[in-house]
Structure 1
């Protein structure tokens, strides 16, 4: 009998945390799964731990992917997955015992939802990173498909090791692409752009452990510039369908960094009609209080300063601008 769920767990030199991650899957209340452990060129004792685990539980399959990188390891798992549903897991995280059961039940009970994540519990192992904590608070704050669509260009909308989705999405639209960009974010944007309905369970079903070695800290593919470049590609597709003035947009933010990042949008064929700023003194930008009535332009907010996006959002709502119709936040 085929397992209903394939859990894909890539690892690279994870000897200190791998056993804990494996155990958290083996202790799931939902038991009809296979656990695919993908070795990605480990040189420590990770392989011993993985081999030992396969001897103790027939649901565990050990695979090797020699092409470096988590995208290649994930694809190895996807190619070998037998389940109708795919769940992602990281080698340094811990799944709540009811994680698979709750996500499986959610998709079985809601056929219109294709992809479900969850909230996460942030567990820092270094001096707490305020930016990381802010991101966790942000991602834990919204759950519905409608909210995810509106927030998709701010940051990755669903924390990657919580994802649980119908395998047909991989079959129809591919797995992880390997390149100079954040592969997990690109995959979520690609699925959303093809009509996937994503939701998030309003429960913390994963301990998200933050180590200094986390790829988001050490790999250029997770730089802010790489994120904006990826956003630009999928924003163009979104704009074609939702921006009544496409390809014309206004950018909120007239600083040097924002103007540099807005070139990614121009490279995608979007036309920047002007910039909006909170300073009256910028002669080449529209002062934000002088914005016209809604329905005359489309605004993309690209300001990344802490808390700025929320303030811009609230100001535009006060002016009766509709999110998704008159403006979108990006950053």
Structure 2
């Protein structure tokens, strides 16, 4: 659990962790150079509970704090937690049971309760609903290029994943999303418990809201490398790649793929003003003129949730199969 200036939520978070039904754990807290009362709160808590181990660093940011925690952790299973979130008493026990029961799983997350104002932050609340719906390993794997399929402070994973595939990377991208994409790319199976074991607080100063590494452009650039790898493996050299959506935003998203060697053969659009035209030298097809799936792999690069459902239904009707012949992205 990394923490930087954790007041006023840190005491409540510590309390929910120290009262887990699974008592056999060590809580590694990485204090990232806090300047508020965080150090004294942690010192006092560690005096009363020997399971707490505090690592104090000069302020270096979230990635260095996370990796310091990984390096210090000694258990074969590692759970993540943020210093301003809450979890149910049975969280660690339930996730441990899942990993011990299925040796093929490398990571298990949970659903989250949205700890914010859903009316004010409707987009964020809709994202929580969407990610809560991804439970099965197949859904997590296939939907990973839409948005991040896992909420970071809900995960528990095997130390072996870190040893084999590396920990958090520092750069102009969201460190957790990059980790999931890299591990999934290497074949790590991930699942999610269909229970809201963590309450994810929504705060205006949350890093995912204020730091440029979590900007919309950073997400596009981050996923492009791994999406290009997926297209290379699934589409192969014998199939063209067509992008569904010819609008400016979709073209901007697709442009990142060119940096990793993906050539867009066509755009697909329902706007009659675009169909039959060429945009940036790329032809725009009508959805009804799609070739057979054996000829073309479709990347549905449309951000609207309802539109993605309609696109998926149309492609399935045409014989395309998700993952094999098309992929939803955003």
Same fold per TM (> 0.5)? yes
Moved more, 275-284 or 111-120: 275-284
Structure 1 partner of 2:295: 296
Cα RMSD for the two superposed structures: 1.5
Q: Which of 107, 111, 114 is residue 106 of structure 2 equivalent to? A: 114
**Counterpart contact for 1:39–1:63, Cα < 8 Å:** yes
Cα offset for 1:188? Answer: 0.6
Cα offset for 1:319? Answer: 2.1
**Counterpart contact for 1:250–1:300, Cα < 8 Å:** yes
TM-score of the superposed pair, with normalisation by structure 1:
0.94
Cα offset for 1:263? Answer: 1.5
List gaps (5 residues or longer) in structure 1: 1-8
Cα offset for 1:139? Answer: 0.8
Q: Which of 20, 24, 36 is residue 16 of structure 2 equivalent to? A: 24
Cα offset for 1:74? Answer: 0.6
**Counterpart contact for 1:245–1:298, Cα < 8 Å:** no
**Cα distance per residue 1:201-252 (max 9 Å; x no partner):** 1111101110111111111111111111111111122223222457841111
Report the secondary structure of 1:211's partner residue. coil
Report the secondary structure of 2:195's partner residue. strand
For 2:238 and 2:190, locate their aligned partners in 1 and report how far apart those are by CA, in whole Å. Answer: 25
1:106-255, aligned counterparts within 5 Å? 106-124=98-116, 128-245=120-237, 248-255=240-247
Taking structure 1 as reference, are residues 243 and 85 closer, same or farther at Cα in structure 2, changes over 3 Å only? same
Structure 1 partner of 2:281: none
**Counterpart contact for 1:54–1:61, Cα < 8 Å:** yes
For 1:20 and 1:303, locate their aligned partners in 2 and report how far apart those are by CA, in whole Å. Answer: 40
List gaps (5 residues or longer) in structure 2: 279-283
Q: Which of 275, 297, 302 is residue 267 of structure 2 equivalent to? A: 275
For 2:261 and 2:43, locate their aligned partners in 1 and report how far apart those are by CA, in whole Å. Answer: 51
**Cα distance per residue 1:280-315 (max 9 Å; x no partner):** 210221122222233220011111134222221222
Structure 2 partner of 1:326: 325
Q: Which of 39, 44, 48 is residue 40 of structure 2 equivalent to? A: 48
- Give the total of aligned pairs: 323
TM-score of the superposed pair, with normalisation by structure 2:
0.94
For 1:199 and 1:143, locate their aligned partners in 2 and report how far apart those are by CA, in whole Å. Answer: 6
**Cα distance per residue 1:248-273 (max 9 Å; x no partner):** 41111111122122111010011110
**Counterpart contact for 1:126–1:210, Cα < 8 Å:** no
1:308-327, aligned counterparts within 5 Å? 308-327=307-326
For 1:209 and 1:64, locate their aligned partners in 2 and report how far apart those are by CA, in whole Å. Answer: 24
Structure 1 partner of 2:252: 260
**Counterpart contact for 1:120–1:136, Cα < 8 Å:** yes
Taking structure 1 as reference, are residues 90 and 277 closer, same or farther at Cα in structure 2, changes over 3 Å only? same
Report the secondary structure of 2:26's partner residue. strand
Cα offset for 1:42? Answer: 1.1
For 1:75 and 1:125, locate their aligned partners in 2 and report how far apart those are by CA, in whole Å. Answer: 32
For 1:43 and 1:73, locate their aligned partners in 2 and report how far apart those are by CA, in whole Å. Answer: 15
